Structure 1
Amino acid sequence: MTVELLRNAVRPYAWGSRTTIPELLGRPVPAPHPEAELWMGAHPGDPSRVVGQDGTERSLLDLVEGDPVGQLGQRCARRWGGRLPFLLKILAVEEPLSMQAHPSPEQAAEGWAREEAAGIARDAPNRNYPDSTAKPELVCALTEFHALAGFREPRHTVRLLRALDTPGLTKYTELLAGQPDPDGLRTLFTTLITMPQPTLDQLLPEVLDACVRHIKEHGEFDTECRTVLELGEAHPRDAGVLAALLLNRLTLSAGEALYLPAGNLHLYLHGTAVEILANSDNILRCGLTPKHVDVPELLRVVDFACGDMPVLDGEWASSQGRVALYRTDAPEFELSRVEWAADDRDEVWLGAPGPEILLCTEGELLLCSEDGSKVELRRGESVWLPACDPAVRVRPVAGPARLFRATAGTCA
């Protein structure tokens, strides 16, 4: 066995940061253009490259396709059809993303078959399902990370809408007040995102003015109102700004995570995070984007269950409290975080009966395999560990240090 580094693709989306990813990778800052995501995995659109000891590079996608059992393990290869089921990312969110939800496995399979039968090209801008798989996600903050996720408890939303105290909003507020449950949320959400543009053009400025007044009066919902104003400035005349009033507003501290299962409507606002997700491109957008929005299909996918979103701290699993596991029901992935204090040099054994990607986000680490091969893993670097390789020992060279470990789900 030889421990091998990965060279990973950077995705230059407009909402990204010009400093976060370049600084993480030790490149000049600022970058010429926004850099939004660093991809680690075997996604067909931008697979990682495995760098050999002699400097040669091979596509991780080609390695997996050429030897699925050796790279993924028999169970994982069989369960996912010879495909690496997860993708690991660094997110550098400078500006809000689109509001979106992802389908369940059944919805994805049905939608993909329907669009295939209709002859819609897989790269067409109006394609909702470019593949047939689900796309659950987990995002873990590296810095303070801001997001909207899941529908707020309806009675709390009624309090927010009444606090804005604007006449144009009253009938919508009372619509939810009369049915403060998931069905009421569905009705109000559908009403807002299908609102005729002339009606929206009249209501939205009124709501934004009410948010300004609420902030000046030091109202209870200051953070929610500032978020709506930010979205309204970036996306004038967009119904998604009103839909944002219905979602939980969350601020994650470093190490805290959100799990976003199928149907969860969400929007990342600002911050840096590690994200692990199923290796899929299926996205149903609600708004706040120039990209395709299919409202009827979105309504088929969105889950209107409501209440506070659970924030995951990670369960300290083993190795004297160094390994924290973020438990979810996603079969495609599992994420854990390994922490060492400044004066800690103890080794941690890492290994699983399946594929792994290890990512260093702080400090410098030494990885040692049973055959004696070693590699130093610096901040921003990652390695691929195929299923056919034995466990590795990891310890800090310089601390404090932090490592993220991505594997296939335990039920894969």
Structure 2
Amino acid sequence: MTKILHLNCGVQQYAWGKGAAESAVARMKGKCSENGKFAELWVGTHVNCPSHTMDGELLSAFLQKSANGDRFFAPQQQQIPRFHNRVPFLLKLLSIETALSIQAHPNKTLAERLHAENPTKYRDPNHKPELIIAITPFEALCCFRSVEEINRLLRTVPSLVLLLGHALEAQQVSDSTRDKIERIMRAIYAIDPQQHARALLDHTEELRRKGDAIGVEDRLFLRLVSQYPSDMGCWMVYILNYVQLKPGEGLFLADSEPHAYLFGDGVEIMASSDNVVRAGLTPKWKDVPTLLKMLRYNTDGLARAKHSRKLAGDGEEWEVQLYAPPVEFPDFSIYRIQRVSSGKSKTSVVLPTIGLGFCVEGACVVNDEPVTMGGCFAVPYGEVRVEAVGECQLFVASMNLPCNHSAKL
């Protein structure tokens, strides 16, 4: 049996993260008594926050060595030079207190162009499909609502309708769904910032006068405007779907789908990229023209995004679930392996290439190596055996290739 490689992984402290006492990221790193916001734990070889071996060597440098590359990567991938030192996916743990930006991620062609034109803002040439799995109740805005629902909700916001009048009135029955939604989005982002600020204030005051007699979207609007006053991204609660995930539920987001994570803790797996095109709910640099041009503007995105888990293994003692995007996205898949009873027992999964993982609850033994809560590791391709005495939960990510679809109990 091939041994795992224990990793020392970095943390990102962003303003939207949770305080140490509440953050799953801080608990994983044993930093619950420290100050600051703990937002993300990164496991991978991306240059913005690369993982290291316990000896202090970069994981990418470790994998560059021929013997290590041969041990961790599947034989068919040993012929691909870029896999010898770069893991093609990035595993994260997120702890979110306040909303992340309204954003989308470029496809591969656009990512290459953005990186070539503006490498300081778009730091790599890769696309960034991603999948989030809730480990606590998790909230997000995701993909466009139906045109009918958008129109209905917008007409409950008189201060915005006044500014969007022409865009709403110009809709024709013969217009495509894409045209209707794109026209509304472009009209919102074309409004003068001072007019936006006034409209946001007017709507906020109106909702507060109504007290409890307001809808779910209105309550969310008040939350966001308290976090990001005068930010036009607050209007997106009436444009994008509001999604609430229970632990274990997931969302897959392909390129060019608008979204914003709002609150909660989750495990995120993505192609190895840090490219983000932002357009609101952030003090960071925004690239509104690029975002408006790249969006899909369809209304079936949520149906694709709501990720159906495949039960890869089940029994009285273990629950093994596989989350994988459509086959046209080979970049990643991820197992959630959960021990649901006491008493010593084992389970296993099979990986097509190198895997990255961490334990978010309890303790276990992976390929005969102990892993406690917060432990991060890389594991060679092939069978991964997990043993535990009590309850535990760990995630193991790899690529989305056919042999990912088996588990032994």
TM (normalized to structure 2)? 0.87
Distance 2:319 2:104 in 1: 33
Distance 2:340 2:260 in 1: 33
Alignment of 1:185 onto 2:181:
yes
**In the alignment, what sits opposite 1:98?**
101
Question: In the TM superposition, what are the counterparts of 1:239-278 in structure 2 within 5 Å?
Answer: 239-278=232-271
**In the alignment, what sits opposite 1:290?**
283
**Letter paired with 2:188:** L
Q: 1:76 to 1:205 in 2, by over 3 A?
A: farther
Distance 1:170 1:156 in 2: 16
* Cα offset, 1:274, TM superposition: 0.4
**In the alignment, what sits opposite 1:12?**
13
Distance 1:16 1:325 in 2: 27
Q: 1:334 to 1:81 in 2, by over 3 A?
A: same
Q: 1:266 to 1:355 in 2, by over 3 A?
A: same
Structure 1 stretches of 5 or more lacking a match?
A: 369-373
**In the alignment, what sits opposite 1:33?**
36
Q: 1:301 to 1:228 in 2, by over 3 A?
A: same
Distance 1:203 1:153 in 2: 24
Contact persistence 1:364–1:376 (CA under 8 A)? yes
Q: 1:90 to 1:175 in 2, by over 3 A?
A: farther
* Cα offset, 1:26, TM superposition: 6.2
Alignment of 1:136 onto 2:129:
yes
* Cα offset, 1:138, TM superposition: 0.4
**In the alignment, what sits opposite 1:65?**
64
Q: 1:58 to 1:101 in 2, by over 3 A?
A: same
Q: 1:365 to 1:409 in 2, by over 3 A?
A: same
Distance 2:129 2:151 in 1: 29
**Letter paired with 1:229:** L
Structure 2 stretches of 5 or more lacking a match?
A: 405-409
**Letter paired with 2:127:** A
Alignment of 1:404 onto 2:395:
yes
**Letter paired with 1:63:** F
Distance 1:79 1:299 in 2: 36
The secondary structure found in structure 1 opposite 2:396 is strand
Contact persistence 1:176–1:188 (CA under 8 A)? no
Contact persistence 1:158–1:173 (CA under 8 A)? no
Distance 1:318 1:334 in 2: 16
Contact persistence 1:352–1:391 (CA under 8 A)? yes
Distance 1:165 1:73 in 2: 59
**Letter paired with 1:397:** V
**Letter paired with 2:311:** W
Distance 1:155 1:201 in 2: 26
**In the alignment, what sits opposite 1:395?**
387
Q: 1:285 to 1:79 in 2, by over 3 A?
A: farther
**In the alignment, what sits opposite 1:371?**
none
Alignment of 1:206 onto 2:197:
no
Bigger Cα displacement from structure 2, 158-167 vs 345-354: 158-167
Distance 2:334 2:7 in 1: 18
Distance 2:81 2:181 in 1: 35
Distance 2:301 2:210 in 1: 23
Bigger Cα displacement from structure 2, 175-184 vs 85-94: 175-184
How many pairs are equivalent? Answer: 387
**In the alignment, what sits opposite 2:311?**
316
The secondary structure found in structure 1 opposite 2:389 is strand
TM (normalized to structure 1)? 0.86
**In the alignment, what sits opposite 1:216?**
212
Question: In the TM superposition, what are the counterparts of 1:97-136 in structure 2 within 5 Å?
Answer: 97-113=100-116, 115=117, 120=118, 122=119, 124=120, 127=121, 129-136=122-129
Alignment of 1:339 onto 2:338:
yes
The secondary structure found in structure 2 opposite 1:227 is helix
Contact persistence 1:104–1:263 (CA under 8 A)? yes
**Letter paired with 2:3:** T
Q: 1:298 to 1:192 in 2, by over 3 A?
A: same
Contact persistence 2:164–2:184 (CA under 8 A)? no
**In the alignment, what sits opposite 1:89?**
92
* Cα offset, 1:402, TM superposition: 1.5
* Cα offset, 1:89, TM superposition: 0.6
Distance 1:78 1:190 in 2: 46
Distance 2:53 2:147 in 1: 49
Question: In the TM superposition, what are the counterparts of 1:162-173 in structure 2 within 5 Å?
Answer: 162-166=155-159, 168=162, 171=165
Distance 1:215 1:268 in 2: 26
The secondary structure found in structure 2 opposite 1:287 is coil
**Letter paired with 1:81:** R
Distance 1:214 1:317 in 2: 49
**In the alignment, what sits opposite 1:174?**
168
Bigger Cα displacement from structure 2, 155-164 vs 68-77: 68-77
* Cα offset, 1:73, TM superposition: 2.8
Distance 2:79 2:124 in 1: 18
Alignment of 1:325 onto 2:316:
no
* Cα offset, 1:345, TM superposition: 3.5
Bigger Cα displacement from structure 2, 265-274 vs 401-410: 401-410
* Cα offset, 1:165, TM superposition: 4.7
Alignment of 1:383 onto 2:409:
no
* Cα offset, 1:173, TM superposition: 7.6
Distance 2:132 2:32 in 1: 25
* Cα offset, 1:78, TM superposition: 5.2
Contact persistence 1:172–1:188 (CA under 8 A)? no
Bigger Cα displacement from structure 2, 204-213 vs 141-150: 204-213
Deviation by residue 1:336-388 (Cα, 9 ceiling, x = unmatched): 211221235431123323000122122211123xxxxx21111221221133x
The secondary structure found in structure 2 opposite 1:5 is strand
Contact persistence 2:324–2:400 (CA under 8 A)? no
The secondary structure found in structure 1 opposite 2:156 is helix
Contact persistence 1:169–1:207 (CA under 8 A)? no
**Letter paired with 1:317:** A
Distance 2:169 2:236 in 1: 14
Deviation by residue 1:52-72 (Cα, 9 ceiling, x = unmatched): xxxx33221212233445433
Percent sequence identity is 28
The secondary structure found in structure 1 opposite 2:359 is strand
